[in-house]
Amino acid sequence: MAKVFILLCIIGFFAILSSTMSKSPTLPLYADKLGISVTDIGLIAAASTITGIFTNVVAGSLSDIYGRKRLLLASGLFFSTAPFMYFIARNAPLLAAVRAYHGLATAIFTPVAFALIADLHKTDRGEKMGLFSSTTIVSRLIAPALAGYIITFYDFPLVFTICGVSGIVALAMIFRIEDQNVSHIVIEKPSLASGISKILSSSALFIAGIVNATVYFAMQSIETFLPLFLKFLEVDPFITGILFSIEMATIALFKPYFGKLSDKYGRTGFILAGLAFSGSGMVAIAYSRNLILTTTAIVLFSMGVAMVTSSIMPLASELVPKEFHGAAMGALETIKDVGQGLGPIVTSLAIAYMGFREAFLISAFILFIVLILFKYLLK
């Protein structure tokens, strides 16, 4: 159990490093350099998450049937090949196609990895999921600053090359997971239809997914358009990358702690508090006009994200029997990707017609509405 968990954390580090460097702050700045419009940038950023909408639940369910390792290997293939395709993506349609292809990597990896952790751990599930998430978040912490530095002092091709090498390392590490360490975990193998049917019948799982989707709606809005907002304020990409690293550092630091507390005291309170913190952070970002205020706002938002996400994943795994862990994790990721995909699209339209402040306030409003709805639906 310990060996699989450690390997999974290492794989997650390199896989998410590859994925994040290609996206934040690289993607919007790369697209802007190619002369792509703000509206198209929103659609391109959403392409990978739209892919996830149709992939997550299927990948999770298939891992219930065929084992976790086979699906992890498939994700590794996408992680290791997608970054090199950015070299030929010189217009909006091609860049969107590459993002969609790249999106298959995380769409497969994330639900399968969390399902494997749910298989291996029960009493400390929140803590272990938090630790795994923090390992991947360390990648997210390093990636923006590293990508911003490379873009500022070198150029985009080196960013994409490093992403590709990281993906190759992740794929190589997946091969080290021994089949017997994974295949014995799932005793009963449900069919794809039964897995999807099970998760469709769970209203509680759907509610959890909506909460998760709302948080990622806001996160994706920030990741896609905060770099352009800060560019308007004459902040260079390196500083922008550091701000995103601060965001990821805050989440990584507190997520295992909140996950451990949710194991002990329950998930609901942390979800409600997290929505409140995240909504307040979005309001603060909307009204920030200097780096100190922006940094404070991002920390506040990130604390809320840590509270919500450390509780949602273990909650979802507790809502279904063990043989449906993959389907449940996939369902949560699918609903999350709906929110994550809508984030750049809605925000790009809001920016185009109203401005950055109003766009960020829309995200805050949605977070507070979901907080109220979630509180009353729990009754």
The pLDDT value recorded for residue 379 is 53
**What whole-number distance in Å separates Cα of residue 289 and Cα of residue 305?**
23
pLDDT above 90 coverage of the chain, percent: 34
Rounded mean pLDDT, 310-324:
85
Rounded mean pLDDT, 303-310:
93
pLDDT category, 183, cuts 50, 70, 90? Answer: very low
Rounded mean pLDDT, 26-33:
88
The pLDDT value recorded for residue 276 is 95
250-263: per-residue pLDDT in tens? 888 898 999 888 88
The pLDDT value recorded for residue 181 is 45
pLDDT above 50 (res 66):
yes
pLDDT category, 195, cuts 50, 70, 90? Answer: low
The pLDDT value recorded for residue 86 is 93
Retrieve residue 167's tokens.
């993906």
Rounded mean pLDDT, 293-314:
91
**What whole-number distance in Å separates Cα of residue 50 and Cα of residue 44?**
10
75-121: per-residue pLDDT in tens? 999 999 999 999 988 899 999 999 999 999 999 999 999 999 988 88
Three-state helix/strand/coil letters over the chain: CHHHHHHHHHHHHHHHHHHHHCCCCHHHHHHHHCCCCHHHHHHHHHHHHHHHHHHHHHHHHHHHHHCHHHHHHHHHHHHHHHHHHHHHCCCHHHHHHHHHHHHHHHHHHHHHHHHHHHHHCCCCHHHHHHHHHHHHHHHHHHHHHHHHHHHHHCCHHHHHHHHHHHHHHHHHHHCCCCHHHHHCCCCCCCCHHHHHHHHHCCHHHHHHHHHHHHHHHHHHHHHHHHHHHHHHCCCCHHHHHHHHHHHHHHHHHHHHHHHHHHHHHCCHHHHHHHHHHHHHHHHHHHCCCCHHHHHHHHHHHHHHHHHHHHHHHHHHHHCCCHHHHHHHHHHHHHHHHHHHHHHHHHHHHHHHHCCHHHHHHHHHHHHHHHHHHHHHHCC
Averaged pLDDT of the chain:
86
Rounded mean pLDDT, 202-217:
87
